[in-house]
Amino acid sequence: MKLEIFAFAALVGSAFGVTASAAETFGPLIDPATLSQKLDSNPPLVLDIRGGAYDEGHIPGAVSAPYAEFRGPKDNPGQLIPEDKLETLLQGLGVTLDRPVVVVHQGNTDTDFGAAARVYWTLKSSGVSQLAILNGGMSAWSSADLPVDLAVTEPTPSDIDITFSTQWLADTETVADVVEGRREAVLIDARPADFYDGKKAHGAAARPGTLPGAVNVSHASFFGDGQTAIDSDTASATARVLDLAPGQEVVSFCNTGHWAATDWFALSELAGIENVKLYPESMVEYSKTDHEMANTPGLLQNLINQVRAD
């Protein structure tokens, strides 16, 4: 089932924000003007995840934290990196449990947001509680004519000690239990429709298709047309359309846990749904198992789809 987000999103805007106290905490989004003000005193740790683009200009004081460092190998990009390796990475970036962190992505397309959301999810699962994503990314910062620095900021290493939480994590076994009826959860496919319909597949996937019973809520549906800043009102509207029962488990997936991180962020952090999990390895890993899949075309149709895709 494909879920369409209708124009009534504006009608539920007043419902956005789970509690009044939640609005007073740091994050989960921050706009360029607010971040600029916070840099003047007791600044948050700004992690620039853009990789090589950091050297071309970045937010003053930002630390380079390439997205690739938070990802798995080429044949399974969504795979979690080992906890000890993640801890060493966070220590080297100067991440602590008491200093707020802002994640900065490029923001040229809505797909860029998935990188920031995946890093946010990783940090939250590592115990960092004060987190925000710069809405619109570096593109929004530059469009606001805010200062850009070329000097490399060397982080002050920390001694952070992490225990990676599984509270927001769904693994392949969990997802298989849902598919095979041993566990109840709403499965949300965050990919564009062509992937959900089995017309396209990730290069590292063994076969096209989706999880049986999954609802298609594309990551792009959380952004306005041509916009790269996520729309909070739409996140709340989507939660209402899903009509989830209180406490009902939700699992967001895609190809490699990138687009799915956007759906997780929108539903968990913006709409305030408490039991949303991310399946980081997603369809690249699941498609290599013997578990049932849906919308998987036959050999001939799959060949035709691949030719059309090329």
Give the pLDDT confidence score for residue 22 in this predicted structure: 37
Residue among 116, 118, 63 at smallest CA distance from 92: 63
Please state whether beta strands 131-134 and 101-104 pair in parallel, antiparallel, or not at all (unpaired). parallel
Distance, in Å, from the CA atom of 231 to the CA atom of 229, rounded to the nearest integer, reads 6
- Paired with 102 in beta bridges are 46, 132
Distance, in Å, from the CA atom of 218 to the CA atom of 76, rounded to the nearest integer, reads 21
Angle, CA 186 vertex, CA 226 and CA 290 arms, to 5° = 100
Residue among 156, 119, 116, 120 at smallest CA distance from 138: 116
The confidence band for 1, taking pLDDT boundaries of 50, 70 and 90, is: low
- Report phi then psi at 169, rounded to 5: -115, 135
pLDDT in tens, 51-97: 999 999 999 999 999 999 999 999 999 999 999 999 999 999 999 99
CA-based end-to-end distance of the chain: 26
Residues contacting residue 183 through CB under 8 Å, at least 6 positions apart = 174, 177, 249
Distance, in Å, from the CA atom of 49 to the CA atom of 116, rounded to the nearest integer, reads 7
**Domains along the chain with CATH numbers:** 16-143 (3.40.250.10), 172-309 (3.40.250.10)
The confidence band for 230, taking pLDDT boundaries of 50, 70 and 90, is: very high
- Read off the tokens for 129: 């509680």
pLDDT in tens, 104-135: 999 999 999 999 999 999 999 999 999 999 99
Q: Residue 9 is which amino acid?
A: A
The confidence band for 206, taking pLDDT boundaries of 50, 70 and 90, is: very high
Residue among 266, 287, 277 at smallest CA distance from 221: 266
